[in-house]
Structure 1
Amino acid sequence: MKQIIALLLLGALAACGSPEPEPAPSPTPTVAAPRTLIGADLDLSTLGAKIVGPEGPEVETLLSTSTHEIGNMVSYVACPAGVSACKPGEMPKGTVYTYVHRVTLADASQAADAEPTEGPEVVQSPPTLFRTIRRAAGFNQSIGFSSAEAEETLGDPDAISIRNDSGSLIWRVVSGSGWKPGGTVTFWWQSTSPPQGPAEAYVLELDGNQVTAIGPFPPEDKPVEGGNAG
């Protein structure tokens, strides 16, 4: 009897001394960090016919704030070289489409509205960049800009850095003498998805102004058979 009682007491003590099981760790979502991309020069010889959409082979949009015009953007999407008629619904699966955006600033200088360049009130200059608002579906990691135009307009052929931020593509001016009024810079990127149609999918940030631009952009999930463009 004494042995049974002793065993019961030992069991009770062991139960009291055993730690509570630790709760299973909750999964923590992983946030993808922005990735720097290597930009390539624009080579028009690699492009074939342009997609002809409801607005023709190109889409032009005015870049303006509520008070003044900043510039304009002309965009188009082209099939690979050798394609004489770029019709997404008739192209083979896996066709690569090149999205091209030619951004030109207005000739009028904004110097009159410029912020002070000296004194304690001067803060860091706002960024100058061009970007997609949404994730670029079908992006195949090929991207870049015209280095000749960057040298002429920005003062440095390597003035632009490129990043992929959660699928959004960002071209940022990081060096040079600034974007000259009237100057043009052409940006490009590639996707295996043809455009769904012109959309408010781009933004130009310049001198603290953020302007939405309309241009061809792929659908979010999958290519649309015979998708329109411009």
Structure 2
Amino acid sequence: MNKTIAFVTLCAAAALGACSSEPETDVTDLNAAATPVQAEAMAASIDAGDFIDLQLGAKIVGPQGPEVEGAMSNAEGNFADIRSYVACPAGMDPCDPKTAPEGTVYTYVHVVYPGSDNQADSGSGAGNNSSDIERATAFKMLRPAHGFNGKAGYSKAEVMGAIGPKADVIITCKDRALVWTVSAGDGGNQWEQAEPLTFYWQSTLPPAGPAVAYAIDANYAEASGPGPFPAQTDGVPNSCG
């Protein structure tokens, strides 16, 4: 199992103002490893990108349109909404895998809404067996990240707004799949009800269609849901192993 881990310390910098020089006891400083295990993890880390820095082109238009919406659920009910799309690089419009040049990198984007996205006619929400999410701790894949090129990230501004400066996001490769662990420590703000966060990853393979390939860990349970996902292709590497 490949355990490539990316530790990211959030700081209200560019879009949200400069960080205070005063020390804050509830902010985890991951710039200095406290243990040999942390040092080893940092040395092998993925440089998690910020969604705001991406330059994307047009979205792929599939049978369900340019975006795929659904609920992340288990036997107990719906735990989150998920809205996903796949985009080509900037300047490519339309984004059509059938005509895209060889080597095109596709960006898979997933907006995850714990509990509800306030749309009663899709996924979770009023009248659709929505759950009250007090603590969500991870967004993850349930299948290997076929064609993963090593680039993944999330919206740092959204994480800052939902949790605050103590938040840590850890990107892990587990069983050749990606896991975004959202850590807020004990007490205080958590990633919780109606706080959408955007996650992304990149692949050299286009989506084969929607699949139940994603999950959220929330309220100490796992709930899965659909999203665009590439098919395994012989000879195409996966940077998760």
> Structure 1 length normalisation: TM-score?
0.71
Is this contact kept in 2: 1:150–1:157, CA < 8 A?
A: no
1:152 lines up with 2:161 in the alignment: yes
1:100 to 93, 104, 109: 109
Q: Which has the larger radius of gyration?
A: 1
**Per the alignment, in what secondary structure is the counterpart of residue 173 of structure 1?**
strand
| Displacement after TM superposition at 1:109 (Å) | 7.4
Unpaired stretches in structure 1, ≥5 consecutive residues: 1-31, 115-125, 224-230
RMSD: 2.3
The superposition leaves residues 26-62 of structure 1 with CA deviations (integer Å, 9 ceiling, x where unpaired) of: xxxxxx4411122110036500000000000000011
| Amino acid aligned to 1:138 | G
Counterpart in 2 of 1:77?
86
| Displacement after TM superposition at 1:157 (Å) | 7.8
Q: 1:33 to 1:63 in 2, by over 3 A?
A: closer
Q: 1:86 to 1:132 in 2, by over 3 A?
A: same
Is this contact kept in 2: 1:40–1:145, CA < 8 A?
A: yes
**Per the alignment, in what secondary structure is the counterpart of residue 98 of structure 2?**
helix
- In terms of mean alpha carbon deviation, does 183-192 or 162-171 score higher? 162-171
Is this contact kept in 1: 2:115–2:194, CA < 8 A?
A: yes
Distance in 2 (alpha carbons) for counterparts of 1:61 and 1:202: 11
Counterpart in 2 of 1:66?
75
2:192 to 174, 180, 184: 180
Is this contact kept in 1: 2:171–2:181, CA < 8 A?
A: yes
Distance in 1 (alpha carbons) for counterparts of 2:170 and 2:194: 22
Counterpart in 2 of 1:35?
4
Counterpart in 1 of 2:226?
214
| Displacement after TM superposition at 1:69 (Å) | 3.0
Q: 1:33 to 1:66 in 2, by over 3 A?
A: closer
Distance in 1 (alpha carbons) for counterparts of 2:166 and 2:109: 18
% identical equivalent positions: 40
Q: 1:41 to 1:138 in 2, by over 3 A?
A: same
Counterpart in 1 of 2:178?
169
User: Number of matched residues?
Assistant: 179
| Amino acid aligned to 1:34 | K
Is this contact kept in 2: 1:39–1:144, CA < 8 A?
A: yes
2:144 to 98, 112, 135: 135
> Structure 2 length normalisation: TM-score?
0.68
The superposition leaves residues 114-146 of structure 1 with CA deviations (integer Å, 9 ceiling, x where unpaired) of: 7xxxxxxxxxxx971111111111101000000
Name whichever structure is richer in helix by fraction: 1
